[in-house]
Amino acid sequence: MKFTTLVSATALAVASTAFVGSAQARDQVQIAGSSTVLPYASIVAEAFGENTDFPTPVVESGGSSAGLKKFCTGVGENTIDIANASRAIREKEIKACAEAGVKDIIEVRIGYDGIVFASQKDGPAFNEFTQVQWFNALSPKVLKDGQIVDNPYTKWSEVDASLPDAEIAAFIPGTKHGTREVFEEKVLAVGCEESGALKAMIDGGMSEDDAEDACIAVRTDGKSVDIDGDYTETLARIDSNPNGVGVFGLAFYENNTDKLKVATMAGVAPSTETIAAGEYPVSRPLFFYIKKAHIGVIPGLKEYAQFFVSDEIAGPDGPLAQYGLVSDPELAATQASIEAEETMGN
Amino acid sequence: MTDTTLTPPSGKTSAPTPNKITSILELDPLTKKRNAAEARFKLYGIIAIGIGLFFLVALLWAILSNGLGAFSQTFVKVDVPLNQQQIDDAEKSVVKTSKYRAIIDDAFAKELAGANITTEMSAKDLQKLFSSGAAATVRDYALANPDKVGTTVTFELIASSRVDGYLKGRVKREDLAEDKNLDAAHLDLVDQMKSAGLLEKRFNWSFITGTDASDSRPEQAGIGASMIGSLFMMLVVLFLSLPIGVAASIYLEEFAPQNKFTDLIEVNISNLAAVPSIVFGILGLAVFIQFMHLPQSAPLVGGLVLTLMTLPTIIISTRASLKAVPPSIRDAALGIGASKMQSIFHHVLPLAMPGILTGTIIGLAQALGETAPLLLIGMVGFIASNFPDGVAAGFFSPNSAMPAQIYEWAKRADPAFYERAWGGIIVLLVFLMTMNIIAIILRRRFERRW
């Protein structure tokens, strides 16, 4: 008797939960993550709403790490379906996801994005940069006369005579942005190695890991400012500081060519062509991650992913390329992997 | 401070001091000094008000000069022949709107030829004059009016943001030197089209009634959907915070015993009123979304969070207006045999009502302009892209709010969104001003003094 009461009570509870659940059934895809991917995702979401019978997906911004954290809170209708990221998901995040029950994740690479170094249009002539110059300007410890010393430079012209005689004022993305990681890897770390600082640090008795960490450190005396907001904030900072040099996405620069001028990096000017050809050194792939458990539960999820990577949208003549995305030459493989719902690690 | 001038120097008593002749017509130095101090203080006050006014005017000027542009929009008149065959073909493809663009391109080339404008630009380049939303306009019309297929329909299609910016003076010819969205050659064409009457700049209703648009078409973005989101949030705030707030303050003010416990509650309420609003957002994320499993980005959750934020404001103002009702009214009611509850609900509460309503409206206005807590519950981004279908969907389906939409626009890359952000501020200010004026009118009309 008691057992049946318990069972029926449980059944009632489950039924009412199911009812509540169905009452809130969500019919649109929910996406969150990188503010770099947001413009592309919003363009696709809008076109998806226009061209299909599914409602327009909702895309939140907030940064790659914040988006992946949200993605990894669990499976269910009140969690997001897709996380946009301007960097690949980290091992740590995959583990956190698995602990919360998000086990099958589909990784989709949508294309490439260039990171450009731009300054005020009428400001000093910052036209050519190299990674070594950026490393020497921003690192707290640099190699000078064969010695590792505290960074003595206050002006770009002291870093390299070819640069303008202007105070160093760099505006770089904050650590919550995926862009920061690319900046560290492709600019600071490369500059560290090329300038010989890495070798000098290891020779000076540092372990290789410590030396690599020291390479991507950024000076904290105010010459370099972390921007935690979006590129518009960087633009505002540069607008008010003629000597400022900022780190932007290529698409953002292309929308603001009236205010900004862009510099070459290691002799290559940033453009969709040079990035696609792999000549421009500071570029990175953009991703989104799908919760496989939500496919079939949230209507339009798989269709959205397929629509996103279709040739008409993500191809070289599509609206994304027009906005500034460098389309992925291996798009066909991505399309096939979404079709087969291939998850990571398989 | 000025005692020395009043008392004669005590050391020199030998020399008799002459009697000072005073007149009420002549001001003595002390009075002069006091008058001067008063005049100075008045001057400081006027200067303070002047500085305040200066900043207000500067702010309004900045808002209006930046934002009024969002209320007008350039349209291009094009006669588009709707052909059943072309429409069927377009409907078969994956991205249907791109085929409709081709239809517009053809029609536009004919339109230019008809107006005797010659150009060497390719169809792909000419496309840049139009918003990418133009194709959707044509498609929606063709699908909604199948009887019009086979005829030629005159459309007023939205021009692209750069063309619009050029006509508004925001985009200059020299700005386009390195722009890949539009060339100076396009502007020559725009000038010709303008004199031929193909272009028209007029009031932009869709800014007020429309939904948000993606980064590639700022010209189509409107604040309408997020206005609806704000409305539903305010409904939640009003229907939760008013009854809870008033009940709490009546109990605290009239019934609760004065002891350490009620003192503690009082201190906490005052503290809560000063808590930064983002803290309520974190609370909302943890409690409403992660624990209670309410949907993300829903105006219901936004409303709940803002209710928490508004409650202290309403409780404090309600208690103040209850306190302002003189005790003689309570005593009189009690004296003729009314119960305590009767005395409060029949006499005190009606007299305190204007104050309560004013406090509520001001609390609501504050909640309407709040962005920070909404950041954490998923209401900032490309959210307000659909109108909710029905009242229940209005509470549960994802939507943004006006201040969150303004914040989002201000972040986007295309400068045309920046203009929209200022335009959104104007709309928000109109709402806030209306609410505050209603509060003032209520106070003026119904407030009683004893």
Q: Convert the pLDDT of each residue in B82-128 to its tens digit.
A: 888 888 888 888 888 888 888 888 888 888 888 888 888 888 888 88
**A191-200, B8-17, B41-50: which has the minimum mean pLDDT?**
B8-17
Task: Give A102-136 pLDDT, tens digit per residue.
Answer: 989 999 999 998 999 999 988 899 999 999 999 99
Co-location of A33 and A171 in the same domain: no
* Amino acid type, A341: E
| Mean pLDDT across B4-22 | 55
Q: Decide if B95 and A30 are in contact by the 8 Å CB cutoff.
A: no
For the record, the structure tokens of A273 come out as 């062509």
Co-location of B167 and B272 in the same domain: no
Co-location of B233 and B352 in the same domain: yes
- For residues A112 and A164, is the Cβ–Cβ distance under 8 A? no
CB contact residues (below 8 A), chain B span 358-387, against chain A:
375, 378, 380-383, 385-386
- For residues A247 and A171, is the Cβ–Cβ distance under 8 A? yes
Task: Give A73-94 pLDDT, tens digit per residue.
Answer: 889 888 899 999 988 899 999 9
Q: Decide if B382 and A46 are in contact by the 8 Å CB cutoff.
A: yes
Co-location of A250 and A261 in the same domain: yes
Distance CA B173, CA B163 (A): 11
Distance CA B392, CA B284 (A): 20
> How big is the A-B interface in CB pairs under 8 Å?
129
| Mean pLDDT across A310-333 | 89
Q: Decide if B97 and A38 are in contact by the 8 Å CB cutoff.
A: no
Return the bridge partners of A286, or none.
Answer: A111
Co-location of A306 and A218 in the same domain: no
Mapped onto helix, strand or coil, the DSSP state of residue A58 is: strand
Task: Give B361-376 pLDDT, tens digit per residue.
Answer: 999 999 999 999 998 8
For the record, the structure tokens of A69 come out as 């954290």
Residue B242 confidence (pLDDT) above 70: yes
- Decide if A254 is inside a domain: yes
Co-location of B258 and B188 in the same domain: no
- Decide if B57 is inside a domain: no
Return the bridge partners of B155, or none.
Answer: B78
Q: Decide if A51 and B97 are in contact by the 8 Å CB cutoff.
A: yes
* Structural domain of B357: 224-446
- For residues B156 and B76, is the Cβ–Cβ distance under 8 A? yes
- Say what the pLDDT of residue A19 is: 39
| A289: nearest Cα among A342, A247, A218, A241 | A342
A257 in contact with chain B, both atoms CB, cutoff 8 A: yes
Domain count within chain B = 2
Co-location of A94 and A236 in the same domain: no
- Decide if A21 is inside a domain: no
- Decide if B32 is inside a domain: no
Q: Which of A39, A51, A229 sits opposite B413 (nearest CB)?
A: A39
- Decide if B54 is inside a domain: no
DSSP string of A84-150, one letter each residue = EESSPPPHHHHHHHHHTT---EEEEEEEEEEEEEEEETTSS---EE-HHHHHHHH-SEEEETTEEEE
Task: Give B404-423 pLDDT, tens digit per residue.
Answer: 999 999 988 888 999 999 99
The CATH number that applies at residue B332 is 1.10.3720.10
- Decide if B213 is inside a domain: no
Domain count within chain A = 2
> Pick the residue with more confidence: A1 or B130?
B130
On chain A, the residues whose CB falls within 8 A of the CB of B93 are 312
Residue A204 confidence (pLDDT) above 50: yes
Co-location of A270 and A251 in the same domain: yes
Co-location of A65 and A139 in the same domain: no
- Decide if B58 is inside a domain: no
Tell me the shortest Cα–Cα distance from A232 to chain B, in angstroms.
5
Out of B172, B203, B234, a domain closes at: B203
Co-location of B191 and B100 in the same domain: yes
Co-location of B258 and B139 in the same domain: no
A45 in contact with chain B, both atoms CB, cutoff 8 A: yes
On chain B, the residues whose CB falls within 8 A of the CB of A24 are 294-295, 396
Q: Which of A26, A61, A258 sits opposite B381 (nearest CB)?
A: A61
* Amino acid type, B47: I
Q: Decide if B385 and A30 are in contact by the 8 Å CB cutoff.
A: no
- Decide if B22 is inside a domain: no
Residue B427 confidence (pLDDT) above 80: yes
Q: Which of B93, B214, B410 sits opposite A46 (nearest CB)?
A: B214
On chain A, the residues whose CB falls within 8 A of the CB of B396 are 24
Residue of A nearest to B292 (CA): A78
A47 in contact with chain B, both atoms CB, cutoff 8 A: yes
Q: Which of A56, A252, A313 sits opposite B385 (nearest CB)?
A: A56
* Structural domain of A243: 114-283
B91 in contact with chain A, both atoms CB, cutoff 8 A: no
Q: Decide if A38 and B289 are in contact by the 8 Å CB cutoff.
A: no
A206 in contact with chain B, both atoms CB, cutoff 8 A: no
Co-location of B197 and B242 in the same domain: no
Mapped onto helix, strand or coil, the DSSP state of residue A57 is: coil
Distance CA A299, CA A280 (A): 40
Distance CA B216, CA B128 (A): 11
| Mean pLDDT across B234-259 | 93
For the record, the structure tokens of A238 come out as 């540069």
CB contact residues (below 8 A), chain B span 192-231, against chain A:
213-217
A17 in contact with chain B, both atoms CB, cutoff 8 A: no
A254 in contact with chain B, both atoms CB, cutoff 8 A: yes
Tell me the shortest Cα–Cα distance from B357 to chain A, in angstroms.
34
A323 in contact with chain B, both atoms CB, cutoff 8 A: yes
On chain B, the residues whose CB falls within 8 A of the CB of A257 are 175, 177-179
ipTM, 2 dp? 0.83
- Decide if A344 is inside a domain: no
Mutual angle of helices B84-92 and B96-114, in 10-degree steps = 150
User: In which band, very low, low, confident or very high, does the pLDDT at B332 lie, cut at 50, 70 and 90?
Assistant: very high
Co-location of B289 and B377 in the same domain: yes
A102 in contact with chain B, both atoms CB, cutoff 8 A: no
Co-location of A132 and A263 in the same domain: yes
- For testing the chain B interface, which of A34, A35, A37, A61 should be mutated: the one with the most B CBs within 10 Å? A61
Co-location of B178 and B87 in the same domain: yes
B419 in contact with chain A, both atoms CB, cutoff 8 A: no
CB contact residues (below 8 A), chain A span 263-322, against chain B:
307, 310, 312-313, 318-319, 322
- Say what the pLDDT of residue A174 is: 87
Task: Give B339-395 pLDDT, tens digit per residue.
Answer: 999 999 999 999 999 999 999 999 999 999 999 999 888 888 898 888 888 888 899
- For residues A142 and A151, is the Cβ–Cβ distance under 8 A? yes
Distance CA A275, CA B147 (A): 49
Q: Which of B172, B295, B415 sits opposite A78 (nearest CB)?
A: B295
User: In which band, very low, low, confident or very high, does the pLDDT at B207 lie, cut at 50, 70 and 90?
Assistant: very high
- The one-character DSSP state at A248 is E
CB contact residues (below 8 A), chain A span 218-237, against chain B:
229-232
Residue B1 confidence (pLDDT) above 50: no
Co-location of A140 and A240 in the same domain: yes
- For residues A339 and A308, is the Cβ–Cβ distance under 8 A? no
User: In which band, very low, low, confident or very high, does the pLDDT at B16 lie, cut at 50, 70 and 90?
Assistant: low
User: In which band, very low, low, confident or very high, does the pLDDT at A17 lie, cut at 50, 70 and 90?
Assistant: very low
Co-location of A232 and A105 in the same domain: no
Co-location of A125 and A270 in the same domain: yes
Q: Decide if A58 and B413 are in contact by the 8 Å CB cutoff.
A: no
Residue A23 confidence (pLDDT) above 50: no
- Decide if A20 is inside a domain: no
Q: Which of B95, B413, B414 sits opposite A51 (nearest CB)?
A: B95
Co-location of B199 and B262 in the same domain: no
Task: Give A237-288 pLDDT, tens digit per residue.
Answer: 999 999 999 999 898 898 888 889 999 998 999 988 899 888 999 998 999 9
Q: Decide if B398 and A42 are in contact by the 8 Å CB cutoff.
A: no
Q: Decide if B411 and A258 are in contact by the 8 Å CB cutoff.
A: no
Distance CA B314, CA B375 (A): 24
A78 in contact with chain B, both atoms CB, cutoff 8 A: yes
User: In which band, very low, low, confident or very high, does the pLDDT at B197 lie, cut at 50, 70 and 90?
Assistant: confident
Out of B174, B203, B232, a domain closes at: B203
Q: What is the 3-state secondary structure (H, E, C) of chain B?
A: CCHHHHCCCCCCCCCCCCCCCCCCCCCCHHHHHHHHHHHHHHHHHHHHHHHHHHHHHHHHHHHHHHHHHHHEEEEEEEEEECCHHHHHHHHHCCCHHHHHHHHHHHHHHHHHHHCCCCCCCCHHHHHHHECCCHHHHHHHHHHHCHHHECEEEEEEEEECHHHHHHHHCCCCHHHHHHCCCCCHHHHHHHHHHHHCCCEEEEECHHHHHCCCCCCCCHHHCCCHHHHHHHHHHHHHHHHHHHHHHHHHHHHHHHHCCCCHHHHHHHHHHHHHHCCCHHHHHHHHHHHHHHHCCCCCCCHHHHHHHHHHHHHHHHHHHHHHHHHHCCHHHHHHHHHCCCCHHHHHHHHHHHHHHHHHHHHHHHHHHHHHCCCHHHHHCCCCEECCCCCCCCHHHHHHCCCCCHHHHHHHHHHCCCHHHHHHHHHHHHHHHHHHHHHHHHHHHHHHHHCCCC
Co-location of A138 and A213 in the same domain: yes
- Decide if A225 is inside a domain: yes
Out of A283, A313, A330, a domain closes at: A283
- Say what the pLDDT of residue B19 is: 66
Co-location of A174 and A240 in the same domain: yes
| A276: nearest Cα among A318, A214, A327 | A327
Co-location of B180 and B249 in the same domain: no
Q: Decide if A58 and B396 are in contact by the 8 Å CB cutoff.
A: no
A26 in contact with chain B, both atoms CB, cutoff 8 A: yes
- Decide if A6 is inside a domain: no
Mapped onto helix, strand or coil, the DSSP state of residue A312 is: helix
Distance CA B219, CA B207 (A): 9
Co-location of B177 and B260 in the same domain: no
The CATH number that applies at residue A255 is 3.40.190.10
Out of A260, A283, A306, a domain closes at: A283
Co-location of B190 and B231 in the same domain: no
Average pLDDT over chain B reads: 88
Q: Decide if A42 and B414 are in contact by the 8 Å CB cutoff.
A: no
User: In which band, very low, low, confident or very high, does the pLDDT at B246 lie, cut at 50, 70 and 90?
Assistant: very high
Mutual angle of helices A64-71 and A91-99, in 10-degree steps = 30
Q: How many helices (H) and strands (E) does chain A have?
A: 17, 13
- Taking CA atoms, A213 is separated from A42, A150, A179, A181, B325, in Å, by 36, 16, 17, 12, 68
A76 in contact with chain B, both atoms CB, cutoff 8 A: yes
- Say what the pLDDT of residue B93 is: 82
A335 in contact with chain B, both atoms CB, cutoff 8 A: no
- Decide if A239 is inside a domain: yes
